[in-house]
Amino acid sequence: MAGIRQTTNYHGLSPVTSPTVRLLAGLAITLSAVAVYAGYTIVQLRGLETLQARTIDRNRTDSLLLLRIQNNLNSIALALRDMLDDTEPYGLAAWRSPFRRIRTDLDDALAQEERYSPFDRPAEQRRFLGEAVTQFWDALDRVFGLAVGGQEAEARVQVRLSLEARQQALAAAVARLLVQNNEIEQAAAIRTQEIYERATRNVYLFLAAMLILIALTSLYLVQYNRRMFQQVSELSEHRRELAQQLIGIQESAFRSISRELHDDFGQILTALGVMLQRPQSREDLRELQQIVQDTLEKVRGLSHALHPMILDEMGFEGAVQQYLPGFQKQTGIEVRYEKGGESRDLERGVATHMYRVLQEALNNIARHSKSPRATVRLRYSAEAAVLEIEDEGVGFGANAFQRGRSGRDGQGMGLISMRERAEMVHGQVEFLDGPSGGAVVRLTVPLEEVHA
């Protein structure tokens, strides 16, 4: 139905949004932040591991091998100096055996150094050291060849002019490589420190973000719980008011029934007793019959008000079809009945509550709407039964349920009663403004989950 839809929250209280969605969103954001931070940290740690393995450790191993090479070159320098010492009683050929031992160790050190040399060292530098050492050994072999051939003096000249110069060039090259390794190690240490500083800063930032997120979540939960407690307090107050109103209505109904029994039935029975004491004519008998008939109708009306026995006898649809003509006759309001869908057997409790909602809605129309006509619609679907009562009267006020009562004065208790009954059958009651004025009461009751 078209119109303005009114809120149907319990007893007119403002709705409380569940925090589940927001908490799940916060959890998703937290997990995402943790995942991003963990990924970033893993990348940093892998970078640090790579730097440690590929640069620092490799550079230190290479430096140790260069020191070993430098030590061998120093041994060569000492041996060359001793070869040129004229006080030595041995010839140059006698130094072949010491040089052979130095060469073996130096070649092994060079082979390992080439394997552990830094990746960013130019290929020319890697080849230079090996080629220079090879040239040195070739020159040394020529010197030993001259010495063995009896050219001792020429061999000493070659040692002084060629071998010492080559040895010094090798020593200078190794020294430069050691300096480069030291610079690389210092740069790696700076990069390592930067990584540690970034990781430390990120840890602090992550902890700060988590603390802020926890604080915001806690504040939200505190605020939500405060609202919930306030809602519970208001609900408790409304329940107390409802209980007092229900007790008042119950007492009013009992007084009304008592008055009916005392005044009407007492007078009727007294009149019957008086009439029975005098001679009866045909006219008197007709009057007695009419009195008895009126009394029977009043008794049936009171019985129906206390409990609609017709529901037990004819079911919900039968009770509705029998109730509407009586309501129309009693109030003068024209009532149109429409039914849609295949009829369903309703549980006793469901039928009772739906029937009471129908009665309450029609009574409100008779008392407050000023409507000459009303329409009752009953629709069945596979999931629910929908009962609608529509009038053409003054309608509901726009702020009716924000105040906890209807805009049509005097209906507040009746609307609360209808909401209560809808809750009892796990249904929903809606109070709508009609498409062209008037009001619509729509009760939707699920047929598979209801309980009497």
**Predicted pLDDT of residue 54:** 65
Interstrand relation of 373-380 and 428-433 (parallel, antiparallel or unpaired): unpaired
**Predicted pLDDT of residue 398:** 47
Query: pLDDT for 376-389, tens place per residue?
Result: 999 999 899 999 99
Residue type, 323: Y
**Predicted pLDDT of residue 300:** 65
**Predicted pLDDT of residue 322:** 86
Say if residue 400's pLDDT is above 60: no
**Predicted pLDDT of residue 30:** 77
**Predicted pLDDT of residue 31:** 78
Q: Which of 277-291, 410-424, 429-443 has the lowest mean pLDDT?
A: 277-291
- Token pair 């926890």 is at which residue? 214
Say if residue 410's pLDDT is above 80: no
Say if residue 274's pLDDT is above 70: no
Token code pair at residue 105: 């160790």
**Predicted pLDDT of residue 51:** 64
CA–CA separation, 194 and 107 (whole Å): 39
C-alpha distance from residue 296 to each of 57, 284, 289, 293 (Å):
110, 18, 10, 5
Residue type, 72: N
Give the torsion sign (CA, 33, 35, 39, 44).
positive
Q: Which ranges constitute the DSSP H helices of 307-379?
A: 309-331, 348-364
CA–CA separation, 180 and 307 (whole Å): 104
Residue 443's φ and ψ, nearest 5 degrees, are -110, 120
**Predicted pLDDT of residue 389:** 94
The answer to whether the beta carbons of residues 268 and 291 sit under 8 Å apart is yes
The answer to whether the beta carbons of residues 371 and 363 sit under 8 Å apart is no
**Predicted pLDDT of residue 12:** 45
DSSP tag of 93: G
- Nearest Cα neighbor of 436 from 123, 43, 3 is 3
Say if residue 173's pLDDT is above 70: yes
The answer to whether the beta carbons of residues 411 and 405 sit under 8 Å apart is yes
User: Predicted confidence band at 404 (pLDDT cuts at 50, 70, 90)?
Assistant: very low
| Burial environment of residue 277 by CB neighbours within 10 A (0 to 12, 13 to 18, 19 or more) | exposed
- Token pair 């107050």 is at which residue? 237
Residue-wise DSSP of 261-300: IIIIIHHHHHHHHHHHHS---HHHHHHHHHHHHHHHHHHH
Q: What is the mean pLDDT of residues 308-330?
A: 85
User: Predicted confidence band at 11 (pLDDT cuts at 50, 70, 90)?
Assistant: very low
User: Predicted confidence band at 334 (pLDDT cuts at 50, 70, 90)?
Assistant: very high
Edge to edge, the sheet with strand 428-433 lists 334-340, 373-380, 384-391, 439-446, 428-433
What HEC string does 209-230 produce?
A: HHHHHHHHHHHHHHHHHHHHHH
DSSP tag of 448: S
Token code pair at residue 326: 């009586």
Residues of the chain with pLDDT > 90, as a percent, come to 15
CA–CA separation, 365 and 354 (whole Å): 17
CA–CA separation, 98 and 79 (whole Å): 8
| Between residues 68 and 9, the one the model is more confident about | 68
| Between residues 153 and 301, the one the model is more confident about | 153
Instruction: Please give the helix or strand (H or E) that residue 384 lies within, else none.
Output: strand 384-391
User: What does pLDDT average to over the chain?
Assistant: 79
Q: What is the mean pLDDT of residues 432-450?
A: 83
Q: Which of 12-21, 61-70, 100-109, 312-321 has the lowest mean pLDDT?
A: 12-21
The number of beta carbons lying within 10 Å of the beta carbon of residue 212 is: 10
Q: What is the mean pLDDT of residues 341-364?
A: 89
Residue type, 351: A
The answer to whether the beta carbons of residues 380 and 343 sit under 8 Å apart is yes
CA 201 to chain centroid: 29
Residues of the chain with pLDDT > 70, as a percent, come to 78
Say if residue 412's pLDDT is above 90: no
- Most confident range, picked from 8-17, 113-122, 181-190, 330-339: 330-339
Say if residue 324's pLDDT is above 80: yes
User: Predicted confidence band at 251 (pLDDT cuts at 50, 70, 90)?
Assistant: low
**Predicted pLDDT of residue 56:** 74
CA–CA separation, 3 and 308 (whole Å): 33
CA–CA separation, 139 and 427 (whole Å): 107
Q: What is the mean pLDDT of residues 95-115?
A: 89
Query: pLDDT for 197-225, tens place per residue?
Result: 887 887 788 788 888 888 888 888 888 88
CA–CA separation, 223 and 227 (whole Å): 6
User: Predicted confidence band at 397 (pLDDT cuts at 50, 70, 90)?
Assistant: low
- Nearest Cα neighbor of 115 from 168, 177, 65 is 65
**Predicted pLDDT of residue 277:** 65
Query: pLDDT for 52-72, tens place per residue?
Result: 666 777 788 888 988 999 999
183 CB contacts (<8 Å, ≥6 apart)?
none
CA–CA separation, 438 and 78 (whole Å): 119
Token code pair at residue 120: 């960013």
With a threshold of 0.95, does the pTM exceed it? Answer: no
Residue type, 200: T
Interstrand relation of 439-446 and 428-433 (parallel, antiparallel or unpaired): antiparallel
Q: Which of 31-40, 111-120, 354-363, 443-452 has the lowest mean pLDDT?
A: 443-452
- Most confident range, picked from 102-106, 121-125, 415-419: 102-106
